Structure 1
Amino acid sequence: MDIEHVRSRFAKHFDGATGAVYASPGRINLIGEHTDYNGGFVFPGAVDKGMIAEIRPNGTDQVKAYSIDLKDYVEFGLNEEDAPRASWARYIFGVCREMIKRGVDVKGFDTAFSGDVPLGAGMSSSAALESTYAFALNELFGDNKIDKFELAKVGQATEHNYCGVNCGIMDQFASIFGKAGSLIRLDCRSLEYEYFPFNPEGYRLVLLDSVVKHELASSAYNKRRQSCESAVAAIQKKHAHVEFLRDCTMEMLEEAKADISAEDYMRAEYVIEEIQRVLDVCDALEKGDYETVGQKMYETHHGMSKLYEVSCEELDFLNDCAKECGVTGSRVMGGGFGGCTINLVKDELYDTSLKKHRKLSKLNSAKARKCTTL
């Protein structure tokens, strides 16, 4: 992230003024997709790419925001009826509103921001943006500082109430709590978490961008969540203690099969299996068993593609390439419908596997692929 670039753009658009600079990282998720809103476990970590913003209170009741990357400028007020039309500005507006709801006396401010998290790539650029502004507004306007757990919930509530995505807590939590050299196993029901050192010797994580941009609010993301809730409601008829799919076994799901649609059954089957995969991967990492980690990643991709149906032709192609190249593990990362695959690659295979990926891509009629190494 280029702080000087943000500062120069801020000064240009706001008459040479200076403000305070804040930043938050994007994230990867080694395994555990669509488990967060089902009360399960996820296994994310922060990355060295994120969002950075310069902010200065302006003494008015108006927010004046400039997106450096989009070259777009928006002004909006702080009342509910002042919501801006620009989708990127709604993230900032939503954070303002959620902080106000929590008693923070947010006033008008000038801001410019930029990021190097690829937009729509499944690395949670939106959560990084929300976390940046939640932390900043807490520092600038909060007399009684909100704790980090609540700041993560501010970002989640912004997605729910102002951006149309009923997401879980993982992305915002990883952005706020992530630390270098570690992954976080997060229990999304209790918010208990544990850091796992992650410095795999002999392996590296590689993200391959499908160049297909996902739009979760306009996709089937919310429908997937509804399917999970329908399955839980059916299971509760015989198992009243069940609150989330996290509480369910495949035997319970089988009992309820006649009461739910085939589609809802598939969605629930994937989630129940994925929650267990997170725990299996944690156990494998503690043993240094990266072959099992890779196997579980491939299982996750299969489940997301065939059961949860959130993959796409390009992501499946990249996953097939990974298998052909001998990559230890590969899967779609993030909510799906586009974005990246995350790949666990042995060091000695790194150069040859990337070359083979590129060769296969040229032979395939799909869009050209870009490679990003983390």
Structure 2
Amino acid sequence: MTQSNVRAAFERHFNTHGTLYASAGRINLIGEHTDYNGGFVFPGAVDCGITAMIRPNGTDRVRAYAVDLDSYAEFGLREEDKPSESWARYIFGVCREIQKRGGRIGGFDTAFSGDVPLGAGMSSSAALESTFAFALNDLYALGIDKFELARIGQSTEHNYCGVKCGIMDQFASVFGKKGCLMRLDCRSMEFEYFPFDPVGYKLVLLDTVVKHELVGSPYNRRRESCERVAKMLGQEFLRGATMERLDAIRDEISDEDYRRARFVIGEERRVLDVCDALQRGDYATVGERMYATHEGLSKDYEVSCEELDFLVDVARECGVTGARMMGGGFGGCTINLVKDDLFADFIATAKRKFTERFGHEPKVYPVVISDGAHKID
């Protein structure tokens, strides 16, 4: 449906046709807030994302239409041309970051639409950045490698959207592979595909429908906490730090910084435990580590919220193998690993109890692991 909507909108606005490109949102099984700490993450691309039709227009201006917002923006390609529309800054930022790397691009017309739930922690912004980075690289034959495409998206967030994110979201959106999760070492950028087909289990997201805004945010403050502790330890990142070394400097740092670092150090170990457990088919251990991650995100990192904690508690009561909040925090989804025979009862119970408590149902998104950025023939 998205493809036909985008095609129709493009032809209506620009009286021509272009080339279709798409990129994916992502889930992250485990490894939260570790990417900007140089640690490991374990994401996968999903079967919802952003689709855009694009055509060079022979000028030095971009004309863009956001189908879902029914919003139009037009802007140039110089630094002083930054658009006022927040959604358009993602496209503008990608263009500028390509130019900073020596890529020669011109103006273009585009219409885009997405089916990544906004604010659900599935990284609709990274899907948008990756779609345009991949498309412009292809259309203008720039020869930029996939890692640099991911970095272009990350730099767009940093320099044009005010979020000091790590590399995970853009990496997953660019490198995603159907049927596989990916373990990425965010320090060395080495990665490995792990086939993911949990026979007897389903992976499902429950969306609290609580929206969060990360700009200027608590997210950036947590990153600063981690950077302060790493500096005290004489490291660039928290990656590789131990609890023994952290405890040795406990009296020299704030309690808040201590707890932030304690979560990150524990999370690095949990990612590796989950990778090992999946290779053994040991889903009980996978689930235990997911619950432990949520506890750390809620109590030590303090990025959860009442609605997310409530859904994780319901999951535990229903015998769900593993559950945790997913994403930057302050709203969004829980990710749940559920045995097939418990699935229907869990979903029904979660909907009922959540509605009784908060006055609306959570949205349910079954997870299908899919491909990342690509051209649609």
TM-score (norm 1): 0.97
Aligned length: 367
Q: Which residue of 2 aligns with 1:12?
A: 12
Q: Residue 215 of structure 2 aligns to a residue in which SS?
A: helix
Counterparts of 2:14 and 2:111, CA distance in 1: 9
- The code of the aligned residue for 1:10 comes to F
Q: Which residue of 2 aligns with 1:250?
A: 243
- The code of the aligned residue for 1:121 comes to A
Q: Deviations over 1:67-103 (max 9, x none)?
A: 0001100001100011011111000000000001111
Counterparts of 1:251 and 1:366, CA distance in 2: 45
Counterparts of 1:61 and 1:110, CA distance in 2: 11
CA-atom RMSD, angstroms?
1.0
- The code of the aligned residue for 2:118 comes to L
CA contact (8 A) 1:314 1:366 kept: no
Counterparts of 2:290 and 2:284, CA distance in 1: 10
Q: Is residue 2:357 matched to residue 1:359?
A: no
Counterparts of 1:190 and 1:314, CA distance in 2: 36
Q: Which residue of 1 aligns with 2:372?
A: none
Q: Which residue of 2 aligns with 1:200?
A: 198
| Structure 2 gaps, min length 5 | 368-377
Q: Residue 239 of structure 2 aligns to a residue in which SS?
A: helix
Q: Which residue of 2 aligns with 1:343?
A: 336
Q: Residue 233 of structure 2 aligns to a residue in which SS?
A: helix
Q: Which residue of 2 aligns with 1:83?
A: 82
Flag the structure with more relative contact order, 1 or 2, with Cα contacts below 8 A and sequence separation at least 6. Answer: 2
Structure 1 residues 19 and 278, CA, compared in 2 at 3 Å: closer, same or farther? same
Structure 1 residues 366 and 232, CA, compared in 2 at 3 Å: closer, same or farther? farther
Counterparts of 1:180 and 1:139, CA distance in 2: 21
Counterparts of 1:235 and 1:191, CA distance in 2: 23
Q: Which residue of 2 aligns with 1:262?
A: 255
CA contact (8 A) 2:227 2:236 kept: no
CA contact (8 A) 1:165 1:216 kept: yes
Structure 1 residues 6 and 335, CA, compared in 2 at 3 Å: closer, same or farther? same
- The code of the aligned residue for 2:12 comes to K
Q: Which runs of 4+ in 1 moved over 2 A?
A: 365-368
Once the two structures are superposed, the pairs formed by residues 133-144 of structure 1 within 5 Å of their partners are 133-142=132-141, 144=142
Q: Is residue 2:64 matched to residue 1:51?
A: no
Q: Deviations over 1:160-218 (max 9, x none)?
A: 10001111110111111110110000000000001101000000101000101121114
CA contact (8 A) 2:209 2:363 kept: yes
| Structure 1 gaps, min length 5 | 237-241
Counterparts of 2:310 and 2:359, CA distance in 1: 9
Query: Shift of residue 367 of structure 1?
Result: 4.0
CA contact (8 A) 2:318 2:346 kept: yes
Q: Is residue 2:282 matched to residue 1:313?
A: no
Query: Shift of residue 366 of structure 1?
Result: 4.9
